[in-house]
Amino acid sequence: MGDTKQSRWKRAAWLIALVLVLWAAAAYLLMPALWRRSTSRHPALDELPKITHTANGIPGDPLNLALIGTEAGLHNSLLDAGWRAADPLTWRTSLKIARTTVLRQSYDDAPVSHLYLWGRQEDSAFEKPVGHDPRKRHHVRFWRSERVDAEGRPLWAGAATYDERVGLSHTTGQITHHIAPDVDAERDQLMGDLQKAGGLADVLILEGYHETRTGKNGGGDPWRTNGDVKVGVLVSQ
């Protein structure tokens, strides 16, 4: 009789252990994997280009990240992460950035030049200053996809680069910022800032998205990448 009771307790213990193992596998492995898979099915990813272009059709900066969420969510998340919305590109702001560059005065909201994706210029641009030198800055441009996912969220295709100096464009001779070649570092910088600020619900990596791993942008600056694009899902605002 005692052996039978002990055997039942053992079977119950094994059953409880099995249930806990199955729960843990579902909660921490299966469900997150399924959720990431559903995230990867955002319809805009099926038609996501690989590189931007200048107004003259010259290849620009490569796409290296994307964010999924509302416009308000995009702006709030970037601001919370320490980034600033760039001023519109006008004659006044162009003169201001020229003046502050010569005088080495800070201009934390300096405009960025236009690049084009899906036949139109960027919808939003953000930057993160580096000290008080307007020649150096982290910056990113975003283009909103026309297609949305099942929750009505657009995808914001992004090209993040680091401006390391100001000089003459190698292709047009115009005054421009020159970018650092490692665009992956800037991609990781932005996504890391968003994660630290709690702005991302999840991150998906499109491995090997870029078959061409090196190139030059519209200013003639060389760039290189490992080919991956990171897609972040913004926390609901």
Q: Tell me: the pLDDT tens digits for 119-150? A: 999 999 999 988 766 678 899 999 999 999 99
Whether 35 and 116 share a structural domain? no
**Pairing assessment for the beta strands 229-234 and 65-68 based on DSSP bridges:** parallel
Whether 49 and 158 share a structural domain? yes
The band of 178, judged by pLDDT with boundaries at 50, 70 and 90, is confident
The band of 173, judged by pLDDT with boundaries at 50, 70 and 90, is very low
> What confidence score (pLDDT) does residue 172 get?
43
Whether 49 and 147 share a structural domain? yes
Whether 20 and 108 share a structural domain? no
Burial class (CB in 10 A: 0-12, 13-18, 19+), 211: exposed
Whether 220 and 133 share a structural domain? yes
Whether 140 and 27 share a structural domain? no
Whether 36 and 96 share a structural domain? no
Burial class (CB in 10 A: 0-12, 13-18, 19+), 190: buried
pTM over 0.85: no
**Pairing assessment for the beta strands 124-129 and 137-148 based on DSSP bridges:** antiparallel
Residues 119-138: b if buried by 16+ CB within 10 A, e if exposed:
eebbbbbbbbbeeebbbbbb
Q: How far apart are CA 58 and CA 62, in angstroms?
A: 12
Whether 227 and 120 share a structural domain? yes
Whether 33 and 119 share a structural domain? no
Q: Tell me which residue range forms the domain holding 130.
A: 43-234
Domain count for the chain, please give it: 2
